[in-house]
Structure 1
Amino acid sequence: MANSNVQELTSLSDSYTQIRAAEKQQAISIAQQRNLPIKLTLEDGGVAELQRIAEDGSPIYYRTYNVAAARSTRTNHLNIGGSLGLNLDGQNMTANVWDGGHARVSHQEYDGAGGSNRVTIIDAASEGGTQLNFHAAHVTGTITASGVTAAAKGMAPRSKVRGAMWNNDVAEATAEAANGMLVSNHSYGFRGDLVPDQYFGAYIQDSRDWDNVMYNAPYYLMVVAAGNDGNQNSYNGNPLAGNSSYDKLTGHSTSKNNMVVANAQDANIANNGDLISVSINSSSSEGPTDDYRIKPDITGNGTSVYSTYESSNTAYASITGTSMASPNVAGSLLLLQQHYNNVNGNFMRSATLKGIALHTADDAGPNGPDAVYGWGLMNAKRAAQVISTNGSDSKIEEITLNSGQTYSVTVDSDGVNDLLASISWTDIAGSVNNGTNSGTPALVNDLDVRVTKGGTTFSPWRLTGVTTNGKGDNTKDNYERVDVANASGTYTITVTHKGSLSSGSQNFSLVITGLGNAVADNQAPSNPTSLVASNVASTSLTLNWNASTDNIGVVGYDIYQGNTVLGTVAGTSSNVTGLTANTAYQFRVRAKDAAGNVSGFSNTVSVTTTAGGGGGTNYCDSASTNTNDEYISRVQLNTINNASGAQFYSDFTNLSTTLAKGEAQTITVTPTWTGTVYDEAYSVWIDYNADGDFTDSGEQVWSKAPSKDTPNSGTFTVPASATNGATRMRVSMQYNAIPTSCQAFTYGEVEDYTVVISNATADTQAPSVPTSLSASNVAETSVTLSWNASTDNTGVTGYDVYQGTSNLGTVTGTSANITGLTAATAYQFRVRAKDAAGNVSGYSNTVNVTTAGGSSGGCTNGISSFPYTESFENGLGAWTQSSADDIDWTRDSAGTPSSGTGPSGGAAGSFYMYVEASGNGTGYPNKRAILNSPCIDLGTVSQAFFTFNYHMYGASDMGSIALQASSDNGATWTTLWNKTGNQGNTWLEETVSLAAYAGGTIQLRFNRLTGATWQADIAIDNVRIASSVDQCAGVPAYNSSTSYSVGDRVTYNGFLYERAASSWTNIGACGTQNSNSTQATGNNAIDGPPVSGAFKIYPNPVSGSELNIALQGTTAIDFVVYNIQGQVVLKGDFTNTINVTNLSSGVYVLQVNTERNQFIERFVKE
């Protein structure tokens, strides 16, 4: 992985291997003496294995944390078919697993759509072959199971896993990190009943070793189970602050740079992914660390997780614990890396990945972070959305802060959401501290983030005690977050550091959410100027430049080596490392602002690194022997402006400037006399061919005869024949005679500098911004864009055309024809100009375009055949979510998550569409949700009817729903029907005439506006269009609590029924006119709508193995059981008893199918 210190990682791996081997050998020897077990099975079925002997003689065992789960982190929204449309299943991604043994690589779940044999064992040779282990198999499946059995599907079902045993974990992980490992899972830790008390919460050698690995591999994140000692309050004889319910983390769970995971019960999650409620599993181990760092970091779900087992290729089981919560989080993090790479073309640093996960976690427990949940329950959906909206609603930056620098950025809040700003960094490994409850911080580089507005400063969260938190100066954590509630207006976010930074700099990641885009900033910063290189060594150098300016503010500078971005820094200098000795390089810099506008390039600086091993070009000596009377006090050339004191000879080769061939340069030398003013002579040489001398023709670039002048200036031009790269310049001043290049003389001084020879000066001026962008010829699938031309000092070569943030391509003129669009869809376009040197202008104005949705002559891919029906059983059909509203409609097959509102099932079939109103500020009040119909072509009909079912049950102020029509491609909408407030807990039906639109083309939409409460889940289902009168129009739906008389008509499951003397008669399907509606007999004379008591299931909840079904008056064919995600978990031919033994605890929906009807009931498995 780029930027990993591979050399250091290789050295660490070798060292850790030797240390662990020696510790293990010593432990085995002592164990044999004490009759201690080397490996044992624990009472809960877990496995423990001796690793080493502690300083006080305590045996240190690794043990598995037996507990499971993976449903509450919203990862399903990222998967293929998820609500975000990202289709992330871990394709081409790999996770590593260290555990108490190995998974069975031939298990059926490790094949599938992601490929065959996706699990590899990397240490079988050193472990004496594959060591099958149920725990390792279960963890592996939680990450990567393909879903052959749906209930066992993993977080990243198309990913690969590289597995290993825990015996040499840190050394093997170091080697894997050097080869690009991104995420690893470790669902094990120390046995709490055997470790010495001082290990609890302490930053011990294990903690430091893992931090050292991650610091040298900045893209690698270790995910660790917190442990299952939450109910064990006696293991630690000296808990922090005397509170035995806390201070239970040990070993690698107290590292700084990893992700430590707590375990929650199954969370109550709304269909849109919002958290309703969650509680911790009481077995989850609590923090914090002894220095009061916020550990655990985050919470996953690890309760009753169903996953793979090792005993056969088809073995599965459910287990519980942080062991399962950890891979739940690890697999989700792998998908976030995949998403970031898909969006940006590169992976993010582990600090960025960790920072986004903590930034977007759902707060649980007390307000703010704590030592139980950490920062809260992971929300993979929200984390993915932050990545998707980077540059608009959110901001993600990876920045380098040098010692003494300050980073700041000004942002506008969106005025709706809280403004959150967080920083995360991979800190240098701290000092080992084995003291009991020592509060000495493990933090080395202490960065700080603050948010200010006017005279108000907002500070980050921190722990103030074992059970308390607050806001203030955080001196312990390498993750800080500032929350500004009810934010509005403009804020400044500032990042600083305390003391000096170890190694001179610190990479950090900045995440900001709650941003607004009221006014687009299209102005790019000015170009950085006067880029120079100094401190040129064999593998490193320093770049410096003059700051750019911007209308809002520069947020950073991208450093380029050739055309490759090395990284971003906040200040005007950068230390470049990892270069090759005696090699020529070219560097340049671009500034950027918070809106993503990028300046043109700075000048290019060409540098040749020195030869390794202290070698390099040797120049002759030249110096004076007396500076008591006169010396050189200043030399000025291009960007060099060096003032100095008296020396016989001064080596200033750490100072450099770039000189372009063919350009005139002026050098100025200023003398200083300590007393009498004497005549001084001057000479300057440049080693143009870099051969180690100044004797070649033209290398004496300027000289001046003796005089008392001050200052003294001369001009010269670098010849075209000069060798590109860094070379030596010598400046010499001698009393009363022009010096030679290698002369030793009495009075005066000699100074050496570095100059970098480059080709003719690069063009760094960006074109002006294109103006007056407009759209014309707007059709269903195409549009024409036009704009005014930009200007440039050398000429504009093209314009990049953007759809949103995607570059569609380059055109040379000032117009572009955009094709391949979707009808009736909103788009945003903008344009940037560029020149031959690669300089890019700022963005033009943004033009908003909605493509045509059809014409009066017919629809493209529309509905023109009737009758038409859609009951959403297989998705949305041809209906679409609007992008011009606040929230989306949700497809569901059971009851909605909110109590006292919404239907319990569909009006026709299982599924229906509804709007989830939960979440003050997100779901209500006054949040709009629009569901668009396909284009409807009524050109061949003289009349038409639109019929649908609706369900409006909840609070009286639940808001409204309207059916609207547009005949002008969505430009205007006419309301055909609307309802407001609670209409009762039943499906109702409405028929609306479309006769006014016969002969033309229209589009319909359901326009839902939420009210002042969450108890407001409005649903629609069973939409139909017919070209004749709907015989069900105005007929009420069947209600089991109503008493009916002969001749009464009702609608039920899309059919019209009439009450006969002792039964119901099926008149025909709704949406059509039945011309033969006579008294039906035989199969048409049915029991009709079920009467009360006709369908019943018991016991409910069911705690045993059998669920009983009572069904009267009809014959059932088969049954299906769905989980709350809508996935089929059980099905078969109908019997009166269903075996539910293999179902995990939770809520399910049973559907029983008969020849004409479906019976649906929800049940709970305990």
Structure 2
Amino acid sequence: MKTTFTLRKFFLPAFIAISSIGYSQYCTPDPLNCSVDDEIQNVTFAGINNNSGCGNDDGYSDFTATAAGNVVTGQTYTLTVTVGEGQGEVVAAYIDFNANNSFEESELIYVGATPGGTVSTTVLIPESAVTGATRMRVRNAFNGFEDPEETLYTDWGDGACIDVSIGFGETEDYTLNITAGTQCSGTPDIGAATASVTSVCGGTDFTVSAVVSGTAIGFSYQLQASTDGGTTWTNTGTANSTGTFTVSQSVATSYQVIATCVASNQTDTSASVAVAQNGIADCYCTPTATNPLNCEDGDIMTNVTFGALNNTTTCGENGYTNYSAAFDAVELTAGQTYPISVAVGPSGDGWLDESVGVWIDYNQDGSFDADEFTYVGTGLAETLTGNIVIPETALDGNTRMRVLVSATTAAAFNTTYACSPLTPTNNYGEIEDYVVNITNDLATGQFNNGLVGMYPNPAQDVVNFTVKNGVSLQSAEIYNITGQVVGKASFTSAAEGKMNISALSAGVYIVKLTTDQGSVSQRLVKK
């Protein structure tokens, strides 16, 4: 059984001093225990596709004689590593680019962190890399000290060699054959664009890639996006030399990449790839079997009362219950305040603090943002009460409400608890989801009855506003999904107006229009 420590090992600095001495050959990593789901299961990189497991008692496997990858300087490759479900895995790699038989901090590649599963990253082979055979080391470590994942392998010294966990993990070594790239000439021949996902939720990062095959180097790559099925293409972000781009989207989007040989100034455009947009209901984060909440020790909600909702509840599987289909939507009105009461359990281990919070997805983007959080209260074996203010900018219609209890003090409890346990060892609590129906009287009446109009929607460069005769348009404000004002315009007793939105990133925004008869809100999609 593994334990997560909050106190550091006091003997580590001395140990690091011994372990950091220079090596004439590659260091043998410290022994690790990979038999408790902290094993490396697969490494895929540049021709390597090695299925493995916890093969040795010391947690080290040398595959340099049996698994080799082939890379070219100046080119970019995807490194993918699958690890066991050890509930706190941090994966890194080292490549000895200068071929000095040592892994240096500058050669560290952070791959990713996961409770268990697959992580990946892109690796650019520097043009200065020494050609010939060299070594790549892949390491997985259980983050027992709960260090920041991206610095776990540097916080303790020589992360390529020492135990940076509490004795759990695995190390594997491979051979890489490095070939020098040659400068491009003429017209490039770029491959088809690929994406790391086929569909995605709004605000979730993913990668789009397309590169010129072969050993030539000296290319510049520009990503383009289209939200109208490929009719109109616009540059997204800045050009780079890797051909791999990290993006997010709020509507279904197609992507293509333009490759330019810098020396010849000739270009080629890749075949496009389409990424669909997931439905909002499929995008809300929830506790899972690999990262559950524990509500079996009294850290539970026994009743939630909000408007017409009065639900006596029990502990759900993985600490989560979705009541969205079990109850009618709670009727709410934008700009109004509503009381809520949540009864919390007694906590079986003597813990004295059960904190409750509520999130309502006001902008209907499939995630719970910081400005959608309401703190209800903290107590023990009692009913906690609070008030939820529905903002005037809330979108009209059904949306998700989340109620959460956590065995956490009032001072520590905040919006970061919205999805699941912050750490596998601090997972006492429960989540319940419901549906609310928000009516924005002004927005519904004025937009639906044609009193206020907005077009085009989606829009790319300019959005226009109109009002009926006898109504004066006074101002317009555009909010991003985090509630920040990203655009403003004022109008003087106007019957129409317009705003230039070309500088906004593609995504979903909320437009608040103010007239002499009140304010209205409506969703705007920026292409």
Taking structure 1 as the reference length, the TM-score comes to 0.18
Larger Rg computed on CA atoms: 1
Larger strand proportion of the pair = 2
Name whichever structure is richer in helix by fraction.
1
